[in-house]
Amino acid sequence: MITIKEAKTKKEIKEFIKFSFKLYKDCPYWIPPIINDELENFDVTKNPAFAHADAKFYLAYRDNKIVGKTAVIINWQEVKIQHKNKVRFGWFDVIDDIEVTKALLEKVYEYGREHNMEYAEGPIGFSNLDKVGALTEGYDKIGTAITWYNYPYYIEHFEKLGFVKEKEYIESIFPFENVKPEAYRKATDLVKRRYELKAISFSTTAEVMPYVDKMFDLFNKSYEKLASFVAVSEVQKEYFKKKYIGLINPEYIKFVEDKDGNLVAFSIVMPSFAKALIKANGKLFPFGFLHLLKAKKHSKDVVFYLIGIDPEYQNKGVTAIIFDEYYKIFSKNKIQNCIRTPELEDNFAMHNLWKHFDPVVHKRRRTYRKDI
């Protein structure tokens, strides 16, 4: 018999998090999160996402053992501003038993109906800056710190239970040696002169901080026309600034300004923390933070996390300036591979940014939808 229980206490939430460690303990491609970070992420008093979202966390039990879990979320900004009556589910993990999946998803439908939602979609998090999508291809490839991993049977379960594809994402990779500076260096100089632009680079995190609010404003402006976009709030800006900016090698943050000091483009590239997180296995102490610090400084793989360009400057070659800056620092740091985070399959403008580097799509993922 399968029993579903809501995780409420810190102990229960910790069990919710640690179930994934048990499920994937023999999987070399799953990337363990830092347990304390996940605890904070699910804490209504600490994560500013809860200012605009409600969530419940459910555990599935059989024979007194945890066999599955899911978070159920309603993002009220999405409901009220975009008029999408959607209940989300994420952090979904389950053993290979469709009855367990069915029981967990029934809690998703139930919560959605209680709040007059019309359909369920997942796996997705609280907002656009959370992880997204169930892996459909690339099960034999190591993940990243900012994506979920799942076994192939998840897809079979969803489809048998009547879910259909909602959004498709691709992830690509290319060796740094594919980047040829002669392809854009002339364009870089031309674009700088024509639009009176300049690149801004950093050597310390303290130098980055005064620009972060501008960056999030530009992020909101750059992505506001995407159908699924929900703007980053002022409180979230402060949260992400304190929690994540310090993890990024400041040399990998690039901004472009106009002559009046207005930010017109930005890009954030992160060192790959995948192997470091596997070694840390969910714990910062006693040695986990050392693995992460080493990766921050010395990882030979990098992950292109965010890029944003003011709509007025899109299709004007501004990315050539950014790529030129990265070429300099990546050459110095002997970077080997460049990894792209999930991009919507139909985001052709984004795909065009990378086409000259001959990227290879090595993973696909999607979110699933079901009317309730």
In this structure, are 168 and 225 located in the same domain? no
pTM over 0.75: yes
Query: Do 58 and 188 fall into the same domain?
Result: no
Domain boundary at 108, 141, 172, which? 172
- Per the domain annotation, does 124 fall within a domain? yes
Q: Are residues 267 and 303 in the same domain?
A: yes
Please tell me the predicted confidence (pLDDT) of residue 349.
78
Domain C-terminal end among 172, 187, 207: 172
In a shared domain, residues 108 and 218: no
Task: Determine, yes or no, domain membership for 346.
Answer: yes
**Residues 161, 190: one domain?**
no
Which residues are registered as beta bridge partners of 306? 268
- Find the domain containing 290 and state its range: 174-362
Give the residue among 258, 293, 259 at the shortest CA–CA distance from 273: 293
Question: Is 368 contained in some domain?
Answer: no
Q: How far apart are CA 172 and CA 356, in angstroms?
A: 13
Q: Are residues 247 and 108 in the same domain?
A: no
CATH number of the CATH domain containing 281: 3.40.630.30
- Is the torsion defined by CA of 122, 88, 169, 363 positive or negative? negative
Distance CA 266, CA 16 (A): 36
**How many domains does the structure of the chain reveal?**
2
Same domain as 29, residue 66 = yes
On whether both 216 and 110 belong to a single domain, the answer is: no
What is residue 227's predicted lDDT score, i.e. its pLDDT?
64
Evaluate whether 271 touches 247 at the Cβ level (below 8 Å). Answer: no
Residues of the chain falling short of pLDDT 50:
none
Instruction: Give the closest residue to 97 by CA, choosing from 72, 60, 134.
Output: 60
- Same domain, yes or no, for 247 and 317? yes
pLDDT at 228: 66
CB 171 within 8 Å of CB 354? no
- Residue 119 shares a structural domain with residue 229: no
